[in-house]
Amino acid sequence: MCNFEKPAPVHSRIRIPQRYNRQPIISRLVSRYNLTVNITAASLTSDSNEDGWFDLELSGNPPELAYSLSYLQGLGVDLLQLAIANHIKSGNTQPFPNEGSNLTNRESASTLLKQKPIYNAIAQTNRVRLQLCILKNYYHKPIISELVSHYMLTVNITSALLNPDMQDDGWFDLDLWGRPQQLSASLSYLEKLKLPLWLVSIPDSN
């Protein structure tokens, strides 16, 4: 029997031009090229004129990896070596709300799934905006990739702050697109992971 070694993951920092800040580029790497994408560090500010960047760990078949990198280059996304990219300064970011803060219109995941009117609203929409805290012990888990590959969602990251030193929790502002059942199942998945989650809005999908 032949033993095939699993290809080593590709590590790279990508710098995304500001014009693509609202495009689900990372989501497409998963859905189009069947990759597992783990985001190990990130800085992206919504409504900013500055480029965003992500440190990625890409796992998959070598041909698909090559195609995905060509796709990124075709968009004008810079592929940078991590040792060089460490000198890039992140832009200003908003702090993630803690559990004791005034969340106004935001609802935590556990409360969200127990409130019938809100749950019914999610069950009738194809789009949800939320803010997700990535606890530091989850940095090595490809959560965003899982939302795309397992729950078949389109995930657009509109803001992000994930420090590479793993000393602090990070956060993502996410715009999720999918069927109502897929959205509900994905929120249940995030709740099971015990990740702090705040609902920002349920936009009209029509």
- Give the bridge partners for 170, in sequence order: 134
- Per the document, the length of the chain is 206
- Give the bridge partners for 160, in sequence order: 44, 172
Q: What local confidence, expressed as pLDDT, does residue 202 receive?
A: 73
CA distances from 193 to 108, 116, 122, 156, 187 (A): 13, 22, 20, 20, 10
Banded model confidence at residue 5, pLDDT cuts 50, 70, 90? low
What residues contact 124, with CB distance under 8 A and at least 6 apart? 180
Indicate whether 144 pLDDT > 90: yes
Q: What digits encode the pLDDT tens for the residues 20-33?
A: 877 899 999 999 99
Higher-pLDDT residue of 111 and 34 is: 34
- The span from the CA of 59 to the CA of 89, in Å, is 27
- The span from the CA of 44 to the CA of 87, in Å, is 16
For the record, the structure tokens of 184 come out as 């509900």
Banded model confidence at residue 38, pLDDT cuts 50, 70, 90? very high
Q: What digits encode the pLDDT tens for the residues 147-181?
A: 999 999 999 999 999 988 767 889 999 999 999 99
Q: If DSSP codes are grouped into helix, strand and coil, which group holds residue 12?
A: strand
CA distances from 93 to 24, 86, 88 (A): 20, 18, 15
Q: What local confidence, expressed as pLDDT, does residue 121 receive?
A: 61
Q: What digits encode the pLDDT tens for the residues 72-126?
A: 989 888 887 644 344 334 443 344 443 333 334 445 555 555 554 455 666 778 9
**Average pLDDT over the chain, rounded to whole?**
79
CB-CB contact of 44 with 144 (8 Å): no
Amino acid at 54: F
Indicate whether 201 pLDDT > 50: yes
Sequence-ordered strand ranges (E) for 50-179: 52-59, 78-80, 127-134, 154-162, 170-177
DSSP state of 23: S
Higher-pLDDT residue of 129 and 7 is: 129
Sheet holding 78-80, edge to edge: 78-80, 10-16, 52-59, 36-44, 154-162, 170-177, 127-134, 197-201
For the segment 60-83, the average pLDDT, to the nearest whole number, is 84
